[in-house]
Amino acid sequence: MARSAKGAPVSAVLRDPAPSLQPLTVADLSRVMAVEQRAYPFPWTRGNFIDSLAAGYVAKMLVDGDTLLAYFVAMPGVDELHLLNLTVAPQYQGQGHARLLLEVLRACARDRACPSIWLEVRSSNARAQAVYLNNGFERQGLRRGYYPAAAGQREDAVVMRLFVAGGAASEPNRKPDAAG
């Protein structure tokens, strides 16, 4: 058995490096589409991703070696980032990957001086809503019939927003009080 400089036994087993964050590119779309198909009954199309990348949207993925764990795509706007897609591969959900990507997204918003991040989430997706609420997002409203659903139906979307500390000098869209 190997020993440390102080003579204590140490393990010679190397730990796997932590997952890494990388830009999501067109070359990654085969892996992304495989995850997207497993994760959703109504997944984004390859064209949705190609259009987002061509438009210069923020697109990042979390990988562990050759394994795609999670990814997001966000559209910059005036004083905001709009999270369009955040997906964790089903077999890697519940391990903090969404939280990590939301931290990255928050940093992207700060870097761009965006005071808020907006998103829509299916009204039936309680797990995702809980992740967003636990990461500081607040419910802002509802978009009726926003998402496609089974049997030609439509599903409502819950609209959520996160104010980003350091995203701008003051919080946007806050009306002054009566004194102000």
Out of 80, 132, 155, 171, the active site residue is: 132
Out of 36, 71, 92, 120, the active site residue is: 120
Distance CA 73, CA 170 (A): 26
Question: Cα angle at 105 between 50 and 53, to 5 degrees?
Answer: 10
Residue 51 three-state SS: helix
Is 120 known to be catalytic? yes
Q: Tokens 């918003």 correspond to what residue? A: 109
3-state helix, strand, coil in the chain (%, to 5): 30, 35, 35
Q: Which token pair is 171?
A: 């919080």
| Number of residues in the chain | 180
Three-state secondary structure of 122-167 = ECCCHHHHHHHHHCCCEEEEEEEEEEECHHHCEEEEEEEEEECCCC
Is 36 known to be catalytic? no
Q: Residues with catalytic annotation?
A: 120, 132
